[in-house]
Structure 1
């Protein structure tokens, strides 16, 4: 049947609150974590992606709930200050999405839940407390790094191999977030430049590490084509 009056507007308001178009960027971290762990994506990777999506959307709803007073003054067109979504509904959605994200991570296994729990805590801490403090960029960086590790933990059951990539992603996020904050608030450029330099250094180190770990191409010349061991020295002639 036809939707109830205002139904389309409510759906549009929720899509705006949850930033639905940005969802396409979310699975990349979990897939990168699986790749960094050296494991082919599997069903648990899909659970990690689902968990990541839920926690991301929880952060979007919680962000607008936490900023509702500021938005009322500066962005009155946003869903909550415009009255299209009630604050209690946004907060309830954030809680429900967080629970769903943790449940999906638990389905992927204990290692995934071990990463998803601090990721959820970081999302809530950022939105409620840290966003407008000097610790905000670090919290954002930690969330991105944990998101990558979530994919590794769910797919392969371990985060060890993915740690360098997570550090690299976190450092890059820290640099970008710090630069963005400096552009809007002003101040010394030393911190963002240092973060960008660190990102470049870590990129080089991780790349060199991956190159060294890659097995050499070509046949193993210590063996014959029939699988026997080649003896040192010239071949004996009969």
Structure 2
């Protein structure tokens, strides 16, 4: 429970203000918990990596794609807790809906409104973007309402992340084909994290974190040792081998940056996965899920560098410290990223 707002020494006006502020602050915190606001920083990198894979710099349409992604991501968060309200009442009664701090109807209305907003923003970015955003929205709703507890659940979540990256590529006018390898790599990471998250409240799974650990190692190797099929403008600067290799096969700036960012990805994800494999208790499993989610940002940045865009990679990587700073704010201290 947050400490009360201090009352002024004279005991007058500020005390009334504090009583008004507390309910507003409590409502804001409840919605921040429902929408997992700290996790929002893992979303813009999808569109940025997609634009980089398509050989384009971020532009106004990329910003629209990011806005669409954020809306659809938050729609999924609200819908997830609405769909899980009965289960959470038993396993996680502190969450906003079972605790009564957010009404179920309000969460469902938010999911609907955010989905609509996401599709509108995608339409503003162009028909190709809308053509990707529509199946992305359908995948989000299908996962939360039908697929989450089925064997297809992790694959559906992986497809959603992959489509989100393709949404960024679709805004460039160059098509999404060039971004398919990056989408597949990001989707594989999401598949592994989602598989671990299925035992988040019960623990007991050694295989899932071990598989996620192996996936992390494989993805790190692929990002650092296999280059993307670069657009024509960047192909001349890339020789076979490392991404963006320079003359005589020496790593270029983007190749070295991709390696550094992939290493940061592995360091962020591997340790909590390893701990969860050694002791698959609910707390360590939850920590592994959180680590996997946080590792999404350096992976997105590594994919952008792998595509030859150092500026986009650095911009994406900067989202990680920004997200940590946001999560450390007083109102965010009890807001879980998972």
TM beyond 0.5: yes
- TM-score of the aligned structures, taking structure 1 as reference length: 0.80
Residues 1-238 of structure 1 aligned to structure 2 (within 5 Å): 6-181=23-198, 184=203, 186=205, 192=211, 196=215, 199=219, 203=223, 206-207=226-227, 209-210=229-230, 214-216=235-237
Distance between the aligned counterparts of 2:231 and 2:134, measured in 1? Answer: 33
Instruction: Please report how far the alpha carbon of residue 193 of structure 1 lies from its aligned counterpart in structure 2 after TM superposition.
Output: 7.1
Change (3 A) 1:110 1:209: closer
The answer to whether the Cα contact below 8 Å between 1:178 and 1:191 also exists between their aligned partners in 2 is no
Instruction: Please report how far the alpha carbon of residue 15 of structure 1 lies from its aligned counterpart in structure 2 after TM superposition.
Output: 1.1
Instruction: Please report how far the alpha carbon of residue 102 of structure 1 lies from its aligned counterpart in structure 2 after TM superposition.
Output: 0.3
Q: Say which is worse superposed, 159-168 or 49-58, in terms of deviation.
A: 159-168
Distance between the aligned counterparts of 1:157 and 1:80, measured in 2? Answer: 43
Q: Say which is worse superposed, 173-182 or 61-70, in terms of deviation.
A: 173-182
Change (3 A) 1:74 1:182: closer
Structure 1: gaps spanning 5 or more residues: 219-238
Instruction: Please report how far the alpha carbon of residue 164 of structure 1 lies from its aligned counterpart in structure 2 after TM superposition.
Output: 1.2
The answer to whether the Cα contact below 8 Å between 1:122 and 1:139 also exists between their aligned partners in 2 is yes
Distance between the aligned counterparts of 2:39 and 2:180, measured in 1? Answer: 25
The answer to whether the Cα contact below 8 Å between 1:171 and 1:195 also exists between their aligned partners in 2 is no
Change (3 A) 1:50 1:92: same
Q: Say which is worse superposed, 6-15 or 135-144, in terms of deviation.
A: 6-15
Distance between the aligned counterparts of 1:182 and 1:7, measured in 2? Answer: 34
Distance between the aligned counterparts of 2:92 and 2:197, measured in 1? Answer: 20
Change (3 A) 1:9 1:188: closer
Structure 2: gaps spanning 5 or more residues: 1-16, 238-245, 248-338
CA RMSD of aligned residues (A): 3.0
How many equivalent residue pairs? Answer: 218
Change (3 A) 1:114 1:185: farther
The answer to whether the Cα contact below 8 Å between 2:193 and 2:212 also exists between their aligned partners in 1 is no
- TM-score of the aligned structures, taking structure 2 as reference length: 0.58
Instruction: Please report how far the alpha carbon of residue 211 of structure 1 lies from its aligned counterpart in structure 2 after TM superposition.
Output: 11
Deviations for 1:109-162, whole angstroms, at most 9, x for unmatched residues?
A: 000000000100111111111111111110111011000000010133511111
Distance between the aligned counterparts of 1:60 and 1:136, measured in 2? Answer: 15
Distance between the aligned counterparts of 1:130 and 1:39, measured in 2? Answer: 34
The answer to whether the Cα contact below 8 Å between 1:26 and 1:53 also exists between their aligned partners in 2 is yes
Greater CA radius of gyration, 1 or 2?
A: 1
Change (3 A) 1:139 1:5: same
